[in-house]
Amino acid sequence: MCEIFWWVIFPYITGLIMIVGLLYRYAFRQLSWAAPSTEFFEKKWLRIGSPLFHWGIVFAVIGHVMGMVVPKGFYVAIGITDEMYHFGAIFGGGLAGLMVVAGLIILLIRKIIIDPVRIHASFADFFSVIALLIVAGLGTYMTIVYNTTVVAYEYRATIGPWFRSLFIFQPKYELMTSVPFIFKAHVIAAFALFASIPFTHLVHFYTLPVNYPGRAPQQYRSRAQYKNKDVPR
């Protein structure tokens, strides 16, 4: 019963909260669909922490697609052995994980110690950063420490097929029973985080900046650059 709760009911409930929450926010709270910049309050640490986190998460998402979405049979078919796969996952995934965790730690410390940043941060802002840190911290620990000290765990035979089975509404929950605890904790924490997305600034994850190249020019610019030019002062 416990297994059915965590690997069938919980992922669907959290997924449903995320989808309904996103639709509600899009329909009724669209103007707040953003992650307002705090660059105005502090630049130095933001310019280090933010790209570290964002680039790290892009690479981590690519890693998750390669591990959870692409079936193991595909790698076998193109001649990538288990050793080659795990070598790439540990180095590539490990580097991505370290970037995410380092970026999040910088952003969290900045949020705590820089007074104006802290004052303008809501409970939801702290919640997202701490929840991301827990999920990414567990993931990075699994990738770098568990895989190299315990066993290079073959999640492509358990977590991957279980994850894909959710999308065809035939959850293979029995695949998850033998999964090591730390991997289970990472997956449960990630689904809990998914449910929180509509209620935090993480919603901006669903707005890829695809219109940037064609949109109107900068909204904020330095006054200094426009001295003596055609801007009325």
Residues contributing to the site for ligand HEM (CB under 6 A): 60, 63-64, 67-68, 89, 93, 96-97, 100, 132, 135-136, 139-140, 142-143, 147, 155, 159, 163, 183, 186-187, 190, 193
Question: Looking at beta carbons only, is 107 or 187 nearer to ligand HEM?
Answer: 187
Least Cα distance to 194 among 18, 13, 41, 1 occurs for: 18
Question: Looking at beta carbons only, is 93 or 198 nearer to ligand HEM?
Answer: 93
Reported in sequence order, the residue ranges of the chain that DSSP labels E, i.e. its strands, are none
Question: Looking at beta carbons only, is 72 or 118 nearer to ligand HEM?
Answer: 72
Shortest approach of ligand HEM to residue 28 CB, angstroms?
Answer: 25
> Considering just the CA atoms, what is the radius of gyration of the chain in Å?
21
Shortest approach of ligand HEM to residue 78 CB, angstroms?
Answer: 18
**What distance in Å separates the CA atoms of residue 161 and residue 144, rounded to the nearest whole number?**
23
Question: Looking at beta carbons only, is 114 or 125 nearer to ligand HEM?
Answer: 125
Six-digit token string for 153: 């765990």
C-beta neighbour count of 76 within 10 angstroms: 12
Shortest approach of ligand HEM to residue 74 CB, angstroms?
Answer: 16
Inter-residue contact 86 to 147 (CB < 8 Å): yes
